[in-house]
Structure 1
Amino acid sequence: MQTQRRGRNVIEWVERQLRLALPGYCAFCLGEVPPGDAWCAPCFASLPWNKKACRCCGEPLPFAAAMTCRECVDSPPAFTRAHVPLLYQGQVRQLMHDFKFHASPRAGVLLMALFKETLAQCPTEALIPVPLHQKRSHERGFNQSQWLSKELRRTWDIPIINAVRKVDTPSQRLFGRMARRHNLEGVFVMTARLPKRVTIIDDVLTTGATAHALALAAKEAGAEEVDVYALARTPRY
């Protein structure tokens, strides 16, 4: 027990250092910033924020953020709404790549710090990280959605309830939006009964097909309202 506690303390100390990247300097432009800040105001403002988005799936829109996109009107997803504050572009794209494929602690902590800037209070009763198939998990050795969920759990003090990915499906990059949904039918199953309101946690939301399939599994396990929280959105067009 004492060893585990010491390990957690070391990890927390490292993360505190990483949150500041280079103390006194902006994580993006290396300009000077006030002590304790991780970025400067101009760099923060210039990030690709997803300000005008579909209230259901987070797709960036050319009109008011309170609207719903055409795809969600024609074929509503199983989840209720998506909170996706950034676009998968520019510096965010590079950070996401370093985080997802290289398990970069600096990129992960910086992305989570940006994400938390957009959150107010705990909106849910449980977190559901998007699971990897066991084979893919062994190959990659890192599940970014699980890491994000653990960071949010530390902030909100709510449980993580895991799902299982039963089938190692082909890459979603090979399919269009509706084909992606069919590719993921029946892929996920929950490991426990769920409370009424839950939130799926992912890193990047593209078509929302994965979140849709996981939301269906969540509702089969007792959830009545399912939201999706992701760091960044890949625009469809």
Structure 2
Amino acid sequence: MSTFWKLRVDGWLGRALPGRCVFCLTPLPGDNPWCEACFSELPWNLPACPGCAEPQPGAVRGRRCGHCLRRPPRFDGAWVPLRYDAEVAGLVQRFKFDASPRAGRVLLELLVAGLPPAVQGWPEALVPVPLHPRRARERGFDQAHWLAARLGRQLGCPLVPAQRTRDTRTQRGLDRGERRRNLSGAFHLPDGLPRRVALVDDVMTTGATLDALATACRQAGAEQVQAWAVARTPVGRH
């Protein structure tokens, strides 16, 4: 993606004031950081595969994609309300690489807004996708843990940290099979996980990372696993 949307988001966040839409600066009557017009124009991930949340433009809503039919993921379903595109991509970049708390708060509220009430009350624990300790030290910021910690407080759901046991190579440029092999056995959790857990990340690309973490959760005792993320990378941009 070009720097266009990141620069636009920089401008929005720099000018945003309490009580005004973070996108257009329109005065707001409620507590949400956006106006209804901007909210409706965001790149919502609809329709999407209920198994892995891959965008399915023109498909029948609720139908699983070919990837899930050929090789079902280790998580039972995915809730990813937005596509990684346009202003959402700019927000994610400001949050992930510049550690912008304002961008993070907007993304958190968008995630909550995209989760139906029944889904919000489903998990017994949240498991954020962990960075390897070396990468966390280098970046100084773990975006998935930041999101999950605040989401857990908002939903009244405990956090269970996972351990990344090895520093895997970057996933960029790898196909689906290579991504799965790259992450095989990369996560560990203590035994005794609750029966229902939701995995939390900022962006879901092919789902390979969440798939590997779901495997570790099942090995630690979870019986049902969902994958939650703010945004899903469109097909063709993996």
Q: TM-score, normalised by structure 1?
A: 0.88
Determine if the alignment matches structure 1 residue 215 to structure 2 residue 214.
yes
The structural deviation recorded for 1:35 is: 5.2
Matches of 2:206 and 2:73 in 1, distance apart? 10
Q: Show structure 2 runs of 5+ residues with no match.
A: 1-12
| Cα distance change, pair 64–166 in 1 and its aligned pair in 2 (3 A) | same
1:117 aligned counterpart, secondary structure: helix
Q: Given the superposition, is the C-alpha separation of residues 159 and 33 from structure 1 closer, same or farther in structure 2, using an over 3 Å criterion?
A: closer
Residue correspondence of structure 1 range 7-156 to structure 2 within 5 A: 21-34=16-29, 36-61=31-56, 62-119=58-115, 120=117, 121-156=120-155
Question: Identity across aligned pairs (percent)?
Answer: 49
SS in 1 for 2:197: strand
Residue identity in the other structure for 1:159: P
Counting matched residue pairs gives 219
On the 8 A contact 1:25/1:38 being kept in 2, the answer is yes
Q: 1:189 to 1:35 in 2, by over 3 A?
A: closer
1:182 aligns with 2:181: yes
Describe the SS at the equivalent of 1:92: helix
Q: How far 1:196 moved relative to its partner?
A: 1.1
Q: Is the 8 A contact 1:80 1:225 kept in 2?
A: yes
Structure 2 equivalent of residue 8 of structure 1: none
- Equivalent in the alignment of 1:206: 205
The SS at the match of 1:127 is: strand
Partner amino acid, structure 1, of 2:50: R
CA distance in 1, matches of 2:191, 2:221: 9
Letter paired with 1:206: T
Amino acid in the other structure paired with 1:169: T
Aligned to 2:233: 234
8 Å CA contact retained: 1:161, 1:192? no
Q: Which piece of structure 1 moves more, 100-109 or 28-37?
A: 28-37
Q: Give the Å deviation of 1:175.
A: 0.6
AA aligned opposite 2:175: G
Cα deviation, residue 37, structure 1: 4.1
Higher gyration radius (CA):
1
Q: Please give the alpha-carbon distance, in whole angstroms, between the structure 1 residues aligned to 2:32 and 2:91.
A: 18
Hey, what's the Cα distance between the residues in 2 that align with 1:24 and 1:188? Answer: 41
Deviations 1:134-180 (A, max 9, x none): 11011011111101111111112221111111111110013101110
Match of 2:160 in 1: 161
* Structure 1 residue aligned with 2:4: none
Q: CA deviation at 1:23?
A: 2.7
* Amino acid corresponding to residue 188 of structure 2 in structure 1: V
TM-score by length of 2: 0.88
TM-aligned CA distance change 1:219 to 1:35, over 3 Å: closer
Contact 1:95/1:107 (8 A) holds in 2: yes
Question: 1:38 offset after TM fit, Å?
Answer: 1.9
Aligned partners of 1:23 and 1:36 also within 8 Å: no
Q: Letter of the aligned partner of 1:211 in structure 2?
A: L
Amino acid at match of 1:41: E
Q: 1:31-77: per-residue Cα shift (whole Å, max 9, x none)?
A: 23325442111111110000200000000112122100000100111
Q: Which runs of 5 or more residues in structure 1 are unaligned?
A: 1-17
CA contact (8 A) 2:191 2:221 kept: no
Write the letter of the residue equivalent to 2:103: A
**Structure 1 segments of 4 or more deviating over 6 A?**
none
